Copies of this chain bind each other. A is one copy, B any other.
């Protein structure tokens, strides 16, 4: 079941019928090696991509070529669904690890939109989740210190991986270099290193190789001013995420 993680544990979910419609819309699976660019800016596309296994990045380029991440995608993310509507993308998609993706032709999405309006709305919802996350990334860059940014980023990844069963709430694998984290948080790799040391010394988290351990998720969320509302998780999952508004840290 290639698409089983799509919308998993969000406030909206597919019905069983819808999920099988989505599954049968998959044309084929494909793999890409770590480091490859999967979809390139400005190329017209007629297929969209569901990430099945591995991690992908979405990054924009400044006109001078500097690269910046706007999203880190986990399995279940319909990484370029918006290309179905926009027809060409304003950014690149890259493979952070070796990845498996499922390809969905836009013609199949046309059929879904014509025959399953409710399901089309759920696909729309998926793209709006991305937008909501973008807004938090804006907030993070604009309002948070380096320490807070990295803490916030780790909380977000923890929550997203928790939703698809790839974190237990404290431990998960995140095969990113400190340079990658810098590109996600608007920091240099050098400063990311210092911040991670500080988080380690504060006993909030550790990160050796790809293994991340959040020793105190609640305090980490407080440090990063993380509140997971914007992830639109379903109530059950929301309760399991540190920083949820039940913590009464709403403004």
Interface residues of A (CB under 8 A from B): 11, 42, 60-66, 68, 70, 82, 85-87, 90-91, 113-114, 117, 120-121, 124-125, 127-128, 130-132, 134-139, 141-144, 183, 186, 225-227, 229-230, 232, 249-251
Sorted from nearest, which 5 A-B pairs have the closest CB atoms? A142-B186, A134-B134, A63-B225, A141-B141, A131-B131
The answer on a CB contact under 8 Å between B138 and A70 is yes
Known contacts A63-B251, A64-B251, A143-B186, then 20 further A-B pairs from the complex at CB < 8 Å, ordered by chain A residue: A60-B138, A61-B139, A62-B139, A62-B144, A62-B225, A68-B138, A68-B142, A70-B135, A82-B131, A90-B132, A90-B229, A91-B135, A120-B120, A124-B124, A130-B131, A131-B131, A134-B134, A134-B137, A142-B183, A142-B186
For residue A130, which residues in chain B have a CB less than 8 angstroms away from its CB? 131
- 16 CB contacts below 8 A, A to B, read A62-B139, A62-B225, A68-B139, A68-B142, A68-B143, A70-B139, A85-B121, A85-B124, A85-B125, A86-B128, A124-B124, A127-B128, A127-B131, A130-B131, A137-B138, A141-B142
- Across-interface contacts of A128 in B (CB, < 8 A): 82, 85-86, 127, 131
Residues in B neighbouring A139, C-beta threshold 8 A: 60-62, 68, 70
Report A232 CB to chain B, min CB distance, Å: 7
A250: shortest Cβ distance to chain B, in Å? 8
Query: Which B residues are in CB contact (< 8 Å) with A65?
Result: 251
Q: Provide the main secondary structure of the chain A interface.
A: helix
Give the residues in chain B near A114, CB-CB below 8 Å: 117
How many Å from the CB of A99 to the closest CB on chain B?
Answer: 21
Which residues of the partner chain B approach A186 to less than 8 Å between Cβ atoms? 141-143
CB distance from A226 to the nearest CB of B (A): 7
Contact among B60, B82, B250 with A136 in the assembled complex (CB-CB below 8 Å): B60
Q: In the bound complex, do residue A143 and residue B62 qualify as a contact, i.e. CB atoms below 8 Å apart? A: yes
**Assembled-state Cα–Cα distance A120/B125 (Å):** 13
Cβ of A244 to closest chain B Cβ, rounded Å: 12
